[in-house]
Amino acid sequence: MAATAIAAGRLRLSDAEARHLGGSLRLRPGEQMVAVTPDGVEHLCVVTSASAREVAADVIQSSPSRREPALRLRLCQALLKGDQFDRILEYAGEVGVESVQPLLTERTVVRPEAAKLVARRG
């Protein structure tokens, strides 16, 4: 989220952020949320309007962001068909997973070519 998304005590989000909050998570007016800006400030907000195109909220309180969690999580996940692995990566990031280790297990259905594995490594 851009720090400029907050002005005059109001938060406005659009594009991917609005699609995620207003569309996927179905955030509704009256609900509270915490927005963290790149400058390390947490803003407690009350949603005034929400859709997949734009989310607007009133900032109730702002304070310095809490430090990083002391616990570092690494997820070891078998490869999945289709875009399911990408969804797992997205969800893992949302809950604070620090790194993800893809696995090829005995029962993994997906068997990517070795050249593709090397290309995606990094």
Q: What is the pLDDT of residues 50-82, one digit of tens each?
A: 999 999 999 999 998 876 666 788 999 988 888
Selected from 2.40.240.20, 3.40.190.10, 3.40.30.10, 3.40.50.300, the CATH number assigned to the domain covering 3-64 reads 2.40.240.20
Which of 44, 45, 41 lies closest to 65, judged by CA? 41
- As given in the structure block, the two tokens for residue 75 are 């997820």
Specify the 3-state DSSP secondary structure of 57: strand
* pTM reported for the whole predicted model: 0.54
The ranges assigned to domains in the chain are 3-64, 73-120
